[in-house]
Amino acid sequence: MPEPTLNYVTCPDPSGGHRMAWWQWGDPAAGHVIVCVHGLSRQGRDFDVLAQALVGRAGHPLRIVCPDVAGRGRSDWLKDPQGYQIPTYVADMLAMLAQLHGQAAIATLDWLGTSMGGLIGMALGGAPALPLPVALRRLVLNDVGPAIEWRALHRIGAYLGNTGRFASVEEAASAMWAISTSFGPHTPAQWLALSQAMVRALPGGGYTLHYDPAIAVPFRSVTEESVAQGQAALWQLYDKLKADVLITRGAQSDLLSRETALEMTRRGPGARLVEFEGVGHAPTFVTNHQIEAAASFLLK
């Protein structure tokens, strides 16, 4: 399998700044840019299969950019754990987009975000005063919306921050599968490929998960009441979106209810909804039918 190029952007923060890593597929001079952003405890290499498929099918020069959000993958860990929240991530993405635009002008900007990555995209697209190089044209919200089910957050909170220690990548992959079966059917080879970038080697031998355990610090302060209070602000962002929106939902998702997804088709940008049977939270875009749903929307 070909490898993407690894790049970095320096992002300001109150503690002196940090570097965010981003992976690039395709033509680095292409004016059509698709940004793919992962979920809460994941990283940018989640999109390897999708990125290669999009580049192969585009029929025109295409840049796919897959950041490692701060505290994940190859990006720096933040000195202040309270920075692990959406406003920091939005500011980091603006810094990355400015860097990309300086390297080669962005003419068309699309976004695919899984869970947390979708919320970042919604914040960027729903706040017209933000200095984007160009407005978002198309936005894929992968299993996320303005209303997030508390039981899913409670489930995620039970394992978030427990990065473990493993003798091998295979052992780590098995442990991750135990908490990720909601991702839907994957062959052992598909899951191992997804797991390779999810671990980092420890100095004394063995492996641990890639992310800063402190990403769980602000997450633990979330309550059912605060989630409910935040919904109004998220709906305001959603209703202001001017991009064409596609919602991809695992039909058995416990994070994005079907009722919320249907409401998203009726208000704001009037999103289109595609659901994947046999999948919960969240689709991974490594199977052909999931890739087809994303590609037909982003490349048409």
For residues 115-130, one letter each, b for 16 or more C-beta atoms within 10 angstroms of the residue's C-beta and e for the rest, the string is: bbbbbbbbbbbbeeee
Q: Is residue 167 part of a domain?
A: no
The residue range of the domain holding 252 is: 5-149+232-298
Report the Cα 283 to chain-centroid distance in Å: 11
pLDDT at 178 > cutoff 90: yes
For residues 213-234, one letter each, b for 16 or more C-beta atoms within 10 angstroms of the residue's C-beta and e for the rest, the string is: bbbbbbbeeeeeeeeeeeeeeb
Q: Is residue 175 part of a domain?
A: no
User: Distance between CA atoms of 185 and 97, rounded to whole angstroms?
Assistant: 34
pLDDT for the residue numbered 2: 82
Q: Is residue 158 part of a domain?
A: no
Looking at the 3D structure of the chain, how many domains does it have?
1
* Nearest in space to 289 (alpha carbons), one of 255, 243, 257, 250: 250
pLDDT over 70 percentage in the chain:
100
Cβ–Cβ contacts within 10 Å for residue 197, how many?
A: 20
Structure confidence by residue, pLDDT tens digits, 50-106:
999 999 999 999 999 999 999 999 999 999 999 999 999 999 999 999 999 999 999
Structure confidence by residue, pLDDT tens digits, 25-57:
999 999 999 999 999 999 999 999 999 999 999
pLDDT for the residue numbered 242: 97
Q: Is residue 176 part of a domain?
A: no
**Mean pLDDT, all residues of the chain:** 97
pLDDT for the residue numbered 1: 62
Structure confidence by residue, pLDDT tens digits, 212-239:
999 999 999 999 999 999 999 999 999 9
Q: Is residue 172 part of a domain?
A: no
CATH at 83: 3.40.50.1820
pLDDT for the residue numbered 37: 99
**Confidence class of residue 300 from pLDDT cuts 50, 70 and 90?**
confident
User: Distance between CA atoms of 38 and 65, rounded to whole angstroms?
Assistant: 11
Distances (CA, A) of 185 to 167, 181, 197, 277: 25, 8, 20, 10
pLDDT mean over 145-153: 96
- Of the CA atoms within 13 Å of residue 248, those in its CB half-sphere come to 28
Q: Is residue 82 part of a domain?
A: yes
Q: Is residue 222 part of a domain?
A: no
59 sits in the region (left: phi over 0; alpha: psi -120 to 50; else beta) called: left
pLDDT at 202 > cutoff 70: yes
Any residues with CB less than 8 A from the CB of 273 and at least 6 apart, and which?
A: 246, 247, 249, 261, 262, 264, 265
The C-alpha R_g of the chain, in whole angstroms, comes to 18
Tokens of 96: 């990355």
Q: Is residue 168 part of a domain?
A: no
